[in-house]
Structure 1
């Protein structure tokens, strides 16, 4: 198990490597496009951003569908048919074929580091002392380890002890457990400051490796007594594997590989790379694989000489595991479907069965009362159908094969004389569409054309393509479909007292792949934002249930990474969904959908540029002051400023430099961007004043600004401040100058000096700040604020007039009388 830590590197240092590796990677990816995924890989490697690679031989690697974008750091195989990997954010994914993975519910969000199948159960460890267990890789239980440090790797002694290597941050630690449920902390002694990242067990001793070349060994981790072995390096070590007999291999940073025959004496090996190596594994039959930075994959047949293999990814790979490959048995129909019975007589199988793995096939009789078998020789016991099963139990590389059965009919010896040829014929058959475990009837069946006299010969059938189809030897013409391909059925008629052996004759039935179709619903338009992404919704689905692939038919507009679309430009983004079929499904007709990537209408923005504090500055040429408060835009975009008063002030950034006396007017603007319209500029002013020194202490002018009336809104029109601000403590001239400024410039504006007219811009509270300038007699007055509510005239509801109740009664009585009068006149007309 491994860990990645950030490191600095210069891209130019790796440019030659990237160039050559990129060309090779493109070649590997092209190969992957025309290579069918294996049913079950012999190797799986996992890494950054959900990367999962698989390989049948450790040489050619394909990228799998991991069902996650989270980084994966641990992977293992259960020895039967299940792979499990784990990683960031509590991610756990599971697969039965190493190609198609599905996320599982782990019940936590911690960073997970190690994944192993040991002692008949799955165990995962990770950050914050997290330990998970599962019997099947689906249902996970969180075990309380009672610790909060990171747990990096797990080992098992095949008996009753699990050990986990961890890092306290200031020292290393080891946890042990008899059952993977109850854990005890047993820190190695003497104390070790370096973290441990890999641990294994070799039948007698435990070996752990970690930072700064640390290698520790012990016969019992519960004892806490560990011996440090000289590694000969201070390179950080990340993983260790034992081949089960005579070789330990350790990998680490900067391409480090160490080997040892005894876990005590260590020798460096040349890996041929300077990339960090994070994981190493052995397949039990002579092949080692190490993985690391930038998709690095190394292989070795002896652990000493390593070669780099092509990788379909540049992403970091953190762990690798060995699995088993599938195999099939080919056991054709026997060339002689009938044998004349002779007690204790024997005959040889022909043809014999073979395994796709090349491993030896074992035969067993399924009809012990009819026949027995030794090697490939069948001994007859009685009349009847002799069924022989061919099997292959697998080994360290191959899974057990599915057994295949063939039959021979052991019959009575025909009577002497010259038998008649029965004239067996077996007409051509129509093709069939594959259905799993489906069946069809031979139509027409085989028949004899030269048998006018009974007893009629018995016709038997056998499949000469048992991996494609099967049929009972006798009593049925129902054929069971097992796979797609040419199903060859052999028919023969048994000899009897009148007729000789008929056939064998063969009829072939083409079992065709199933058709499939893609459903891909319309997509909603998307607001275009350069390089941003969105998910297809709804996603496409195939009637076969197989996973879909997506590609962009408009690469200048958009790109697809699975069902995630990246936008490059506004326009029509056309995404095509494809499903290329598999062993039993035809490729589907591609279906595309077009998504409109539209530039959204720009949003308005306003600038808030409050009145400056203070409103007055001494007119000292060359002096400076900052804008305060600064302006802000409702969009959050940056503000630009410029000075509008040459000779009075200049501006650099938000710093105003005084060049003369007068009103320094500053404009705040925001030009907009792809999402926002330009804002209406806002202006504020600061008065640069010449304050002649006067005798004594200046008098406070007593500035007052009485409440203002509300104003009816009319855009762009003005009203006059009434009453204006006044000074109440200024009996002696010179009188101070009073200035006004709007602190709500988006609602209203007012000239800084010389006018009391306020311009209305929109509805709301218009706040005007008044201040009196200091002079030789008086200090600054204010600032004081007056608020004017600018409102919109409401249209009053028109009341519905009502009548007094007595008048309503009178009107009702009159209406009744009129109605009665009309009724009488109508009656009179009818009677006349």
Structure 2
């Protein structure tokens, strides 16, 4: 901690010397015309200003509720100067809920910087409150979304897939293009793990891909619909209709797992605490410490449970969601569950557990968020279509649903 603080202080001192240095060729430039605009995001901020093509701009920022200037910015612990940047400039690594101040100045050549723009303060916040206008990808319903690495170019891609094997990929979660369709199936869920994309769906069909250009069939040894998949990084487990559970260590060879139910299973999750939790029809909840031996738990509801997720913070908190706005919460690895007040009566179809909040999606464009799984806030999604899947990460959410709809929140 001490060495880190020393390095940060030395770095700030070095930049401060550059800010005030004289003798370089060029001149100080006026602050950006019209000042700057700063838009808060999830752990980030986007700084925009009117650029002069002949000017080099520096962005100064720090965690502070006071006005930040080019003269006082080094007084604030955690202050940063980003040199020779262009508008818009995205600042990442910010902490949600804390106030940050920003200013921008400019220079020509290697001169000292001119006056800074008026200070602007923002507070980064979790994504999920506001959503982009829906993008429609074809006409097939999309039921699953994941993010992984393609061997075709060693780049990361979102993969959204659904009915009739429709598949789309995106680098940023905003703009999607067609990927190779998944053959011969309606895809119900996708995941990236075990170094491959995996798609599972109707009639026990499983396909894997490493490049999103070709899909290889795997044998699940079942004709039951497969509805959800999760992985702990060593094995993946898929669940489906009539109590179907299959496990794999490579995505290719799948073996049957016996569970104490014949109910349809619709959701599954895993936590680093070492526990698996699966949910399904009629309020079914199953737990397992190894993925092999499963125990039924009392959920306290008869509603169909469609999805489950776990958040690791100070403790492991599970949230299961389902029909008629059902929301359940557990803090003992799924052994006991407590019903929570729901902001909706719509069917809830998916749940994501980011580091700072839970987010659920459902029928008719329903979205709600909660920091603790107890108190929930409805959000306007901008769509009335059913939202079947959602993923968090990279400081944003991406949700997909009926009629090829995708929406994004940053």
CA contact (8 A) 2:135 2:406 kept: no
Match of 2:235 among 121, 124, 149: 121
2:161 match: 46
1:542 match: none
**Counterpart Cα distance in 2 of 1:21 and 1:221:** 37
Match of 1:63 among 165, 178, 185: 178
2:330 match: 218
Match of 1:256 among 357, 366, 386: 366
Tell me the alpha carbon deviations over residues 228-247 of structure 1, each in whole angstroms, 9 at most, x when there is no partner. 11112111101110112x12
CA contact (8 A) 2:268 2:309 kept: yes
1:177 match: 288
Tell me the alpha carbon deviations over residues 641-671 of structure 1, each in whole angstroms, 9 at most, x when there is no partner. xxxxxxxxxxxxxxxxxxxxxxxxxxxxxxx
Give every structure 1 segment of 4 or more consecutive aligned residues whose post-TM-superposition deviation is greater than 3 Å: 37-41
Deviation at 1:221, TM superposition (A): 4.6
**Counterpart Cα distance in 1 of 2:342 and 2:213:** 38
CA contact (8 A) 1:41 1:97 kept: no
Tell me the alpha carbon deviations over residues 400-454 of structure 1, each in whole angstroms, 9 at most, x when there is no partner. xxxxxxxxxxxxxxxxxxxxxxxxxxxxxxxxxxxxxxxxxxxxxxxxxxxxxxx
Q: How does 1:355-504 map to 2 (within 5 A)?
A: none
Q: How does 1:664-683 map to 2 (within 5 A)?
A: none
Q: Relative to 1, partners in 2 of residues 1:62 and 1:159: Cα closer, same or farther, differing over 3 Å?
A: same
CA contact (8 A) 2:192 2:198 kept: yes
**Counterpart Cα distance in 2 of 1:85 and 1:21:** 22
Q: Relative to 1, partners in 2 of residues 1:39 and 1:240: Cα closer, same or farther, differing over 3 Å?
A: same
1:299 match: 408
Figure out how many residues of one structure are paired with residues of the other and give that number.
262
Gaps (5+ residues) in structure 2?
Answer: 1-133, 140-151
**Counterpart Cα distance in 1 of 2:347 and 2:358:** 17
1:355 match: none
Match of 1:147 among 261, 266, 276: 261
2:91 match: none
Deviates more, 1:152-161 or 1:290-299: 152-161
Deviation at 1:193, TM superposition (A): 1.9
Match of 2:397 among 264, 288, 291: 288
Tell me the alpha carbon deviations over residues 9-48 of structure 1, each in whole angstroms, 9 at most, x when there is no partner. xxxxxxxxxxx988x969xxxxxxxxxx855542111100
Q: Secondary structure at the match of 1:89?
A: helix
CA contact (8 A) 1:129 1:150 kept: yes
TM-score normalised per structure 1? 0.30
Match of 1:112 among 226, 236, 244: 226
**Counterpart Cα distance in 1 of 2:302 and 2:182:** 38
1:86 match: 200
**Counterpart Cα distance in 1 of 2:265 and 2:302:** 15
CA contact (8 A) 1:41 1:98 kept: no
Deviation at 1:187, TM superposition (A): 2.4
Higher relative contact order (CA 8 A, sep 6+): 2
Q: How does 1:759-798 map to 2 (within 5 A)?
A: none
CA contact (8 A) 1:67 1:102 kept: no
Deviation at 1:67, TM superposition (A): 4.3
Q: Relative to 1, partners in 2 of residues 1:21 and 1:135: Cα closer, same or farther, differing over 3 Å?
A: closer
CA contact (8 A) 2:166 2:182 kept: no
Deviation at 1:147, TM superposition (A): 2.1
Q: Relative to 1, partners in 2 of residues 1:48 and 1:198: Cα closer, same or farther, differing over 3 Å?
A: same
Match of 2:216 among 80, 87, 102: 102
Tell me the alpha carbon deviations over residues 730-784 of structure 1, each in whole angstroms, 9 at most, x when there is no partner. xxxxxxxxxxxxxxxxxxxxxxxxxxxxxxxxxxxxxxxxxxxxxxxxxxxxxxx
Tell me the alpha carbon deviations over residues 483-511 of structure 1, each in whole angstroms, 9 at most, x when there is no partner. xxxxxxxxxxxxxxxxxxxxxxxxxxxxx
2:252 match: 138
**Counterpart Cα distance in 1 of 2:334 and 2:350:** 22
Match of 2:385 among 250, 254, 275: 275
**Counterpart Cα distance in 2 of 1:69 and 1:38:** 26
**Counterpart Cα distance in 1 of 2:307 and 2:360:** 9
1:329 match: none
2:376 match: 266
Tell me the alpha carbon deviations over residues 178-222 of structure 1, each in whole angstroms, 9 at most, x when there is no partner. 11111111121xx31211111011122111011111111011255
Q: Relative to 1, partners in 2 of residues 1:74 and 1:214: Cα closer, same or farther, differing over 3 Å?
A: same
2:342 match: 231
Q: Secondary structure at the match of 1:49?
A: helix
Q: Secondary structure at the match of 1:163?
A: strand
**Counterpart Cα distance in 2 of 1:21 and 1:206:** 31
Q: Relative to 1, partners in 2 of residues 1:38 and 1:57: Cα closer, same or farther, differing over 3 Å?
A: farther
Gaps (5+ residues) in structure 1?
Answer: 1-19, 27-36, 302-832
Q: Relative to 1, partners in 2 of residues 1:157 and 1:217: Cα closer, same or farther, differing over 3 Å?
A: same
TM-score normalised per structure 2? 0.61
Tell me the alpha carbon deviations over residues 66-104 of structure 1, each in whole angstroms, 9 at most, x when there is no partner. 3413101111111x6311110001100101123321211
**Counterpart Cα distance in 1 of 2:138 and 2:203:** 29
Q: Relative to 1, partners in 2 of residues 1:231 and 1:67: Cα closer, same or farther, differing over 3 Å?
A: closer
**Counterpart Cα distance in 2 of 1:99 and 1:90:** 22
Q: Relative to 1, partners in 2 of residues 1:216 and 1:207: Cα closer, same or farther, differing over 3 Å?
A: same
CA contact (8 A) 2:361 2:367 kept: yes
Q: Relative to 1, partners in 2 of residues 1:299 and 1:220: Cα closer, same or farther, differing over 3 Å?
A: same
Match of 1:192 among 294, 298, 301: 301
CA contact (8 A) 2:208 2:217 kept: yes
Q: Secondary structure at the match of 1:42?
A: strand
Q: Secondary structure at the match of 2:399?
A: strand
CA contact (8 A) 1:186 1:221 kept: no
2:321 match: 209
**Counterpart Cα distance in 2 of 1:156 and 1:90:** 22
**Counterpart Cα distance in 1 of 2:400 and 2:334:** 31
